[in-house]
Amino acid sequence: MEHTTTHALPFPHVELSGFDAGLTEQETAAQAVIHRFAAEVMRPIGRALDRMDPDHAYAEGSPFWDFHKAAATLGMGPEALEGLDPRAAARLEALVIAEMGWGDVGLAVSSGAGEMPLRGALASGDPELIELCQGKLGCWIATQPDRGSDGLILYPQERAVGAKGTVGNLTARFIGDEIVVNGQSSAWVSNGCVAQVGLLDIVADYGQGYHDAQGDTYGCNVIVPLDVKGVSRGKPLRKLGKRALPQGEIYFDQVRLPRRFAIATRDDYEIKHAMAWAHAGTAMSHLSAGLARAAFELALAYTNERKQGGALLADLQLTQFRLGQLGAKVEAIKAMSRHVADYTRTSPAPHPYFTAAGKAFCSSEMFTVVNESLQLFGGVGLTQEFPIEKLMRDARAMQIEDGETNILFMHYGFLLAQMNRAGAWGKN
């Protein structure tokens, strides 16, 4: 139906991010810059890398490195939020990360994970560590072959009865002024096979073994330059989705680091680990918002082109109903991601299980949107003629990345039950 009569209600106001109003000038400008970068740089490079063999995709001179060179000129690294109050920082970060997710979620994670060591170094305030990380591609080395979901357990009651915290395959021993690291990461470390610096988030022995009296493991966060003696890499992983993101094992053989490279040790590890994980969960929620919108926009455009039974798909009521449901989900994911980000930055006591619930909600709803958007294409949605099939594969990876969806909801449910039992929530 044409909206040309004078009686028709005008269209509502929308921004690049959909139904948004009240963005500041700075926010609109940042969103526009990143949107353009996402459209002109991230999408073409992401699609090219998706079709390349992983053995060549991340080699020197590949489009992967062109992306990082171009991204470095945007000035949107962790320093960009310095000086903003927490609420403004949460808003700006939400807009920027969602646009990057709209561009390519694999490259967006390469960029985000790439900043993790620098974020840790900046928080420590240590100029030596900041210099060590600045201008380098980083990675976050947390999971291992024998320590996946169980690395995310924060309370002893969540473990199987009698079980101790899992030590895993990669550990640090603090001996005098040195840290000695041995073992291997999982194959899933984002940027793992190409990163220049890493943030270790692993179990540690401070001289009394790996466990405390409750059976919890001691942990540490250590900045590690990945060109030191004893570090080697696995081959880039061959995988279903997020193929623009290089992933692979990192091996440590008697790697010796000065103790001053540790930015979290026995007493402050839990809280710093929780905050780093909460940051990652928030970013993943924004990425889901961007990816959901990208898929929905493709479906919306397609239904306005494809004719069946003599009518455009978009003129059929069933299609309009499906578009309405998906469009509402796109807005709900965005709202939840921003709520989680705002709460995490402004709450006097944030919690990574709440952030995890946000990530699980946003990524699982996003998967529904991407899946149903592909469905609106019919058979052609399965082919490489349209980018929707790539978005579907990328979306699939996000159901496991940074915590598998069921596990994250389980942690949140555990927290709610404990809070209720203690009279901290829900007993008004």
Ligand X SMILES: Cc1cc2nc3c(=O)[nH]c(=O)nc-3n(C[C@H](O)[C@H](O)[C@H](O)COP(=O)(O)OP(=O)(O)OC[C@H]3O[C@@H](n4cnc5c(N)ncnc54)[C@H](O)[C@@H]3O)c2cc1C
* Residue of closest CB approach to ligand X: 148
Tokens of 335: 């709202």
Q: Is 79 or 404 the residue whose CB approaches ligand X more closely?
A: 404
Closest distance to ligand X from the beta carbon of 400 (Å):
4
Neighbouring-strand partners of residue 190: 247
* Identity at 166, one-letter amino acid code: T
- Smaller CB separation from ligand X, 17 or 185: 185
Minimum CB separation of residue 118 from ligand X in Å reads 15
Q: Coil, strand or helix: which one is 28?
A: helix
Options 50, 104, 389, 402; binder of ligand X; rule CB under 6 A: 402
Residue 93: C-alpha distances to residues 34, 63, 345, 366 (Å): 11, 25, 11, 19
149 interacts with ligand X by CB under 6 A: yes
For ligand X, which residue of 117, 120, 281, 403 counts as binding (CB under 6 A)? Answer: 403
* Residue with smaller CB distance to ligand X, 110 or 124: 110
Q: Per CB under 6 A, which region of 3-11, 224-232, 381-389, 397-405 contacts ligand X?
A: 397-405
Q: Are 297 and 386 a contacting pair, CB within 8 Å?
A: no
Residues in contact with ligand X, shown as a per-residue x/- string from 230 to 259 under the rule CB under 6 A: ------------x-----------------
Question: In this structure, are residues 100 and 39 in contact, taking their beta carbons and an 8 Å threshold?
Answer: no
Residue (102 or 188) nearer to ligand X, CB: 188
Q: Is 101 in the site for ligand X (CB under 6 A)?
A: no
Which is nearer to ligand X, 17 or 363 (by Cβ)? 363
- Residue 185 or 303: which CB sits closer to ligand X? 185
DSSP-derived pairing of the beta strands 197-205 and 138-141: parallel
**Angstrom distance (rounded) from CA 128 to CA 117:** 13
Closer CB to ligand X, residue 28 or residue 182? 182
Region near ligand X per CB under 6 A, out of 129-137, 249-257, 384-392, 394-402: 394-402
Q: Based on the number of CB atoms within 10 Å of its own CB, is 80 exposed (0-12), middle (13-18) or buried (19 or more)?
A: middle
Report the C-alpha gap between 111 and 77 in whole angstroms: 9
Taking only Cα atoms into account, the Rg of the chain, rounded to an integer number of angstroms, comes to 23
Q: How far apart are CA 296 and CA 315, in angstroms?
A: 17
CA–CA dist 277, 294 (Å, integer): 26
SS3 content of the chain, % helix, strand, coil (to 5): 55, 15, 35
> For ligand X, which is the closer residue by CB, 108 or 295?
108
Q: Does 98 bind ligand X (CB under 6 A)?
A: no
129, 132, 142, 295: which one contacts ligand X (CB under 6 A)? 142
Pairing state of beta strands 219-225 and 262-264?
antiparallel
Return the structure tokens found at 111: 């960029």
Number of residues that bind ligand X (CB under 6 A): 20
Q: Cα–Cα distance between 404 and 152 in angstroms, integer?
A: 10
Residue 400 engages ligand X in binding (rule: CB under 6 A): yes
Residue type, 383: T
Binding mask 178-217 for ligand X (x = CB under 6 A): --------x-xxx---------------------------
Least Å from the CB of residue 188 to ligand X? 3
Interface with ligand X by CB under 6 A: which residues? Answer: 113, 140-143, 148-149, 186, 188-190, 242, 397, 400-404, 406-407
